[in-house]
Amino acid sequence: MKIKCIAIDDEPLALEQISSYIEKTPFLESVALCQSAYEAMDYLAGNEVDLMFVDINMPDINGIDFVKSLAQKPQVIFTTAYSEYAIEGFQVDAIDYILKPISYNGFLKAANKAKTWFELNERPAETLESTQDSLFVKSEYKLVRILLSEIKYIESANEYIHIHLINDEPVSTLIRLKVIEEQLPKDKFMRVHRSFIVNLDRVKVIDRNRIVFDQKTYIPIGDQYKETFQAFIEKTFLV
């Protein structure tokens, strides 16, 4: 499978560099190069695209606002000269972001994340054993029972998910996030990002579109999940 890509950047040299990196990467295929968000919108209106490399700092419409404006979003990797855009980029469910000046190694690392995402979404659905109050998952050749009440949040990481627990080490298992999401009770667990599901009973602090579990753990809330999560906040919190 080749991943169909477009690159969007108002700087011709940067656009040429991304184009050369796409051509150099065997599993990517360049289908368009666009020097503005408007040009990209026109192309997307009539063509199928899997992945976009989008510069954030563009005139008229910046890259993040452009992605937010799309009804049907391809997967996104942002390019930027400013690392402070990273958190905002992940809130629109970007696969990754690449800091300029872009090396091929940095580009390839992000491209491989995209490749893994597409491979996982083409993989046949895995099976998972569950009961009313627990899950049984395979981890390190063992079958492990996890009480739902002990789960803080679940994180997708390449081919694996990591189930983070209240008083124990995370449990890792080779399964897609979507599969485990389908097994969890909807009134107790919510997907808030492309890479995260949270236990709603464990949500205590929300700060600037992030769920705070502790001083080191901030879960971003992706744009496509904000409306559902906001409804939970209005129902649960006194705001």
Domain ranges in the chain? 3-122, 129-236
Q: Would you say residue 11 has pLDDT above 90?
A: yes
Segment 208-232 mean pLDDT: 89
- Residue 230: enclosing H or E segment and its boundaries? helix 226-236
Cα-only R_g, the chain: 19
CATH number of 3-122: 3.40.50.2300
pLDDT in tens, 59-113: 889 899 999 899 888 999 999 887 766 555 556 778 998 999 999 999 999 999 9
Q: Would you say residue 223 has pLDDT above 80?
A: yes
CA-CA distance, 70 to 225, in Å (whole number)?
15
pLDDT of amino acid 27: 96
Cβ atoms of 128 and 138 closer than 8 Å: no
To 5 degrees, how large is the angle CA 176–CA 177–CA 182?
105
- Candidates 46, 48, 45; CA nearest to 70 is 45
Please identify which residue in the block is written with the tokens 């910046």: 62
pLDDT of amino acid 143: 82
pLDDT in tens, 143-172: 889 999 999 999 998 678 999 999 889 999
Cβ atoms of 18 and 9 closer than 8 Å: yes
Instruction: Name the residue with higher pLDDT: 216 or 181.
Output: 181
pLDDT in tens, 105-144: 999 999 999 998 887 666 544 556 677 789 988 887 678 8
From residue 93, how far is each of 115, 149, 206 by CA, in Å?
A: 16, 27, 18
**Matching CATH topology for 3-122 and 129-236?**
no
Q: What CATH number matches the domain at 129-236, 1.10.10.10, 2.40.170.20, 2.40.50.1020, 3.30.530.20?
A: 2.40.50.1020
Q: What percent of the chain has pLDDT over 90?
A: 58
